[in-house]
C-alpha cells in the first residue's frame, strides 16, 4: 500500500500565525559513580509535534474532510509538504486531537482549519 499524499488542491503551507514545530528531547542522562554522567539516545525513532492553521474555502474544507475521514481514516500516515522547504514529511494526525474548523473572522466564506500532527521518523 502506498502512503497517501496531502491533496494538491489544499493549501500547501501553514499560516505563520500559530505554526509550531517542536524538536523533541530524545536524550537520557544517567549519573555515574564517578566522573561525567553518561548520555545516550532514548530511541532511534522519535516523533516530533507539528501544528498550525490554514485558511480554506468551503470546497477545500469538504475535500479536507474527505481526506481526513476516508483517505487517512483519522490516523493513517500520509506525506505532507515540509514547512521548511525540504522533502515531504511523513506525518499522521494525533488520535484524540482532531482538526478544528472555524469561521475565518476577517474573511466571510472562508474557514480556519487547525491541524495537529506528528512527524514520523
Question: Mean pLDDT over residues 27-43, rounded?
Answer: 79
Q: Is the pLDDT of residue 102 over 80?
A: yes
Predicted model pTM: 0.83
38-41 and 27-30 beta bridge pairing: antiparallel
Whether 63 maps to a domain, the answer reads yes
Establish if 105 belongs to a structural domain: yes
As a whole number of angstroms, the distance between CA 17 and CA 52 comes to: 8
Which pLDDT score, from 0 to 100, does residue 31 have?
86
Domain membership of residue 9 (yes or no) is no
Residue-level pLDDT at 108: 85
Give the percent of the chain with pLDDT over 90.
Answer: 69
**Does residue 100 or residue 1 have the better pLDDT?**
100
What local confidence, expressed as pLDDT, does residue 24 receive?
65
Averaged pLDDT of the chain: 91
Query: Is residue 95 one of the residues assigned to a domain?
Result: yes
Domain count, the chain: 1
Q: Are 50 and 119 in contact (CB under 8 A)?
A: yes
14 inside domain: no
Range of the domain at 84: 20-119
Does any domain span residue 1?
Answer: no
Amino acid at each position: 500500500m502506498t502512503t497517501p499524499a496531502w491533496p494538491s488542491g489544499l493549501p500547501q503551507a501553514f499560516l505563520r500565525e500559530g505554526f509550531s514545530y517542536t524538536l523533541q528531547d530524545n536524550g537520557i542522562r544517567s549519573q555515574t559513580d564517578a566522573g561525567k554522567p553518561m548520555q545516550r539516545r532514548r530511541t532511534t525513532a522519535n516523533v516530533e509535534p507539528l501544528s498550525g492553521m490554514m485558511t480554506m474555502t468551503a470546497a477545500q474544507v469538504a475535500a479536507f474532510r474527505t481526506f481526513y475521514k476516508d483517505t487517512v481514516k483519522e490516523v493513517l500516515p500520509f506525506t505532507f509538504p515540509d514547512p521548511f522547504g525540504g522533502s515531504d514529511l511523513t506525518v499522521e494526525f494525533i488520535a484524540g486531537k482532531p482538526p478544528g474548523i472555524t469561521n475565518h473572522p476577517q474573511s466571510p466564506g472562508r474557514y480556519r482549519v487547525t491541524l495537529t500532527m506528528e512527524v514520523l521518523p
